[in-house]
C-alpha cells in the first residue's frame, strides 16, 4: 500500500502542474481531473490503512483533513473551467 500511496500522492501534484502548463482549457481541465482522481485514490488508501489498523484514527483524521482541503481547491478549479 505504501508504494501506491506514494504514487497517487505524487500524481496529484504532477498532474496539477502539467495541467497548469497546458495552453488549451480543455487540456488543462483534463489534467486537473486526473489530479483530483489521484487525490481520491490516495484518500481511499489512507482510509483502508486506518480500517486495517495500520495507522491510528488520529493520524487518519489529520491526513483526511489536509487531503479534503486540497480536494476542495482542485475541485473548485475543475468546476470553474
The confidence score (pLDDT) of residue 49 equals 96
The structural domains of the chain, ordered by start, are 2-80 (1.20.1440.60)
pLDDT tens digits for range 12-33: 999 999 999 999 999 999 999 9
* pLDDT of amino acid 81: 55
Query: How far is Cα 45 from Cα 30, in angstroms, rounded to an integer?
Result: 23
Q: Give pLDDT, residue 2.
A: 94
Residue 3, CB-side half-sphere exposure with 13 Å CA sphere: 0
For residues 12 and 42, is the Cβ–Cβ distance under 8 A?
Answer: yes
In the predicted structure, residue 74 carries a pLDDT above the cut 70: yes
Inter-residue long-range contacts of 24-27, CB under 8 Å, 24+ positions, other chains counted: 25/81
Mean pLDDT confidence for 40-69? 95
Q: Per-residue DSSP letters for 35-57?
A: HHHHHHHHHHHHHHHHHTTSS-H
Amino acid at each position: 500500500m505504501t508504494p501506491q500511496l506514494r504514487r497517487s500522492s505524487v500524481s496529484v501534484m504532477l498532474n496539477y502542474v502539467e495541467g497548469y502548463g497546458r495552453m488549451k482549457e480543455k487540456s488543462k481541465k483534463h489534467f486537473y481531473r486526473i489530479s483530483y482522481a489521484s487525490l481520491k485514490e490516495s484518500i481511499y488508501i489512507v482510509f483502508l490503512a486506518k480500517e486495517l489498523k495500520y495507522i491510528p484514527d488520529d493520524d487518519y483524521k489529520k491526513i483526511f483533513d489536509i487531503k479534503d482541503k486540497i480536494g476542495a481547491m482542485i475541485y473548485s478549479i475543475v468546476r470553474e473551467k
